[in-house]
A and B are shown apart, each in its own frame.
Chain A
Amino acid sequence: MAADYILVVHKENPVERLSPLEVKDIFLGKKVKWGNDAPITLVMNTNEEIHEQFTRVMLQKSPVQLSVYWKKILYSGIGMLPLAVKDDEAAKSYVGSHKNAISYITEDALDRQVKKVEIR
């Protein structure tokens, strides 16, 4: 049984919830700014279980496909590759210290460093 994932942002980020479509747009680089015009910093949690589950459920892609997708964006000069971290801890640490960052972690790993955003 795979662990469930949750979206996390900086504690000061006012956003409370995002729709699945908004989540998809953000992680495919189509929505690049928060409501207050601050740029969104994507953090890919490459923890194997979570990463695969998140990309397949939320982005309807395999992790390899997502990698190629982002490389094409990079190749065509539209954007840079998103930041990649190894596990939940690294993700929480980065999101906790960067105001505009967003990432996903295992539900059990949620703590006070970050704020959970509901997907609804």
Chain B
Amino acid sequence: MRNGGSIRSKIWRCVLVALIGYFVATLSSFYSNMSQYDRLSLLVQVHFPQATLGNDILYTFKRQTERYEEAFLTGEGELAAQGNDLSASLSTMLDQLLVAVERYPHPQVTPSYIQGLRDEYRAYAHLAGKVYAQVADVESSLDLQKEVGQLGRAQHHLLTAFTELNKRLNTFFISEIEENKNKSLKSTIFLGALFVLVLLTVTLIIDRVAHRLLITPLAKLQENVHRFSRTQDVIRPEPTSTTDEIGHLAKAFWEMTKNLKATTVSKKYVDNIIRNMTGGLVVVSPAGAIQTVNQRTLAMFGYSEEELLGTMAATLFTPDDEAVLSPDLINTLVTNGPLKDADVTCLTKAGRRFPAHFSGSAMHNEEGTLEGIICVINDITELKNAEHTLRKMAHYDALTGVANRNLFFERLENSIRDAQRDERIFALLYLDLDNFKPINDSMGHDVGDLVLKTVAGRLQEVVRTGDTVARMGGDEFTIILNALHSAADAEILARKISETISAPFVINGSGCTLGVSIGISLFPDDGADTEILVNKADYAMYQAKSAGRSTFRRFTEG
């Protein structure tokens, strides 16, 4: 059977099966009733009249013989005549029975048997009519006695025959009734069994048909729906015909799921994104309580999810930053729009602080009411460290760790500005190591670098807080000596520096000595400009070097 077709045609198929079953049952019931009707008709029209005739014949014959007997005993001619009157009707009855048996053959009473009886009776009646009318002389007439005796025997024979005939007709009639009764019972049982059988068969067939045509396709559809809810995956169904509604429903569902998959982002997908976000995600209720956190947040702060959910978001920030996610801030986020990459300091469960960027935006549902604040927290510790390193690289000398040219000029400008504002003086010292080149050439760059580092260290030690030591390149250093009372202070410090540098070095187990030539320029006496001050100090340094090393010179004109 095809599984296709419309639901209407499927239901019609079920109805058709039921109708066929009903038709079969009705037909057999009709047949059974008709045959019973036939049998009962035969009983009423044939067997019952036959049996009745048998009774009437016997009864009439008995009456006749009684009349004859009375006539014989009493000699009343009237009684004999009454007996004779019955002969005609009895003869007629026998004729009727003969006709009935000829028309509807009787298994135990043949027409010839009745014919024989009829003839015998007619002979008897004929003789009886003569004899019993005149029996007054019976005692004296032996012939008459013989005739009476002969009639008596004939009468006895007929009585026996009629009794037997009646018995046969009645027995057959009763047996026919019995048979009818049995047949009726059998046909009732048969019909009952047939109805039950038809009912069962029809029910079974309808069940199978309905199962195959309706339930199985619906179950497949249901399975697909379940499959979709579990795995978002659906097998493409194929309608078997253009009128297969269930097939089309299944296909429509399949298309719907396809469209859904194409247009909707599943919760799993979103969860996956949130879980794999590099930033810490925290969703906060309008009242400020944490509603959702992702794994990254937990890892950053060292809390478990249970510990965080429901607690106030302020827990995550240092007391200084508590303003973050206060009701005021939430209002601000709602009215002024998202906050992006605000610098905050976070506080872990263990009490560690770390710098972070905080972004927050208000989340509204479809009705437009505030559902919460979506916050993203990014740990920027490494960024801060990198910034620090970069800044250091930009301002400090990589080898010695003292300020480089850039920072030096920056500081120099600061010093000029501060000194101008405070009306103070400061000195700029330009240093060039003596005999550094021979050491560098003979003992290698490593040793040279070590010497430069040592020199830088000694310079840092000898200057005051607030002074700046810088390396200008090669073996040249500069020092800004701020807040001097007089030019003499600069020279005192220059001498001290010179002495410090001149102290012997121990490099790779062997000692050596360095000298330094120092040029000094003063603000504001020598200039109020970085370039002038540097040039003048440089010039003074060359003068000191010309004067014979390990000495210092103040800048002087000429």
Contact = CB atoms under 8 A, between A and B. Distances in A.
Interface of A: 68, 71-72, 74-81, 84
Given A81-B138, A81-B139, A74 B73 contact: no
B150 A80 contact: no
B154 A75 contact: no
Contact of A74 (B68, B152, B154, B155): B152
Contacts of A68: 73
Interface in B416-452: none
Contacts of B72: 71, 75
- 7 nearest interchain CB pairs? A77-B152, A77-B153, A76-B152, A77-B149, A75-B72, A80-B145, A75-B152
Given A71-B138, A77-B155, 12 more contacts: A71-B72, A71-B73, A74-B145, A74-B152, A75-B68, A75-B148, A77-B148, A77-B149, A78-B152, A79-B149, A80-B142, A81-B145
B138 A77 contact: no
Contact of B69 (A75, A79, A80, A84): A75
Nearest to A80: B145
B140 to A, nearest CB: 9
A43 to B, nearest CB: 14
B493 interface: no
B151 interface: yes
Contacts of A79: 149
Contacts of A81: 138-139, 145
11 contacts: A68-B73, A74-B138, A74-B152, A75-B69, A75-B73, A76-B155, A77-B153, A77-B156, A78-B149, A80-B145, A81-B145
Given A71-B138, A84-B139, A77 B151 contact: yes
B82 to A, nearest CB: 16
Q: Is the interface of B mostly helix, strand, loop or mixed?
A: helix
A84 B154 CA distance: 27
A84 B153 CA distance: 24
Contacts of B156: 76-77
A75 B156 CA distance: 10
A81 B150 CA distance: 13
Interface in B64-84: 68-69, 72-73
Interface in B131-180: 138-139, 142, 145-146, 148-156
Given A71-B138, A84-B139, A77 B73 contact: no
Nearest to A79: B149
Nearest to B156: A77
Contact of A80 (B73, B149, B151, B153): B149
Interface in B235-270: none
A27 B69 CA distance: 22
B20 to A, nearest CB: 72
B316 to A, nearest CB: 140
A81 B137 CA distance: 12
Contacts of B153: 77
Contacts of B155: 76-77
A81 B147 CA distance: 12
Contacts of A77: 148-156
Contacts of A75: 68-69, 72-73, 148, 152
A80 B68 CA distance: 18
A72 B138 CA distance: 12
Contacts of B149: 74, 77-80
A72 B74 CA distance: 11
Nearest to B155: A77
A78 B139 CA distance: 16
A104 B154 CA distance: 34
Contacts of A78: 149, 152
Nearest to A68: B73
A68 B74 CA distance: 9
A81 B142 CA distance: 9
A17 to B, nearest CB: 31
A71 B73 CA distance: 7
A44 to B, nearest CB: 10
Nearest to A67: B139
Most A C-beta atoms less than 10 A away, residue of B142, B152, B156: B152
A53 to B, nearest CB: 21
B73 A72 contact: yes
Nearest to B142: A80
A75 B154 CA distance: 11
Contacts of A76: 152, 155-156
B340 to A, nearest CB: 146
Most A C-beta atoms less than 10 A away, residue of B149, B151, B153: B149
Nearest to B71: A75
B252 to A, nearest CB: 105
A68 B139 CA distance: 11
Nearest to A77: B152
Contacts of B154: 77
B64 to A, nearest CB: 13
A64 to B, nearest CB: 11
B366 to A, nearest CB: 123
Contacts of B139: 81, 84
Contacts of A74: 138, 145, 148-149, 152
A72 B68 CA distance: 11
Nearest to A71: B73
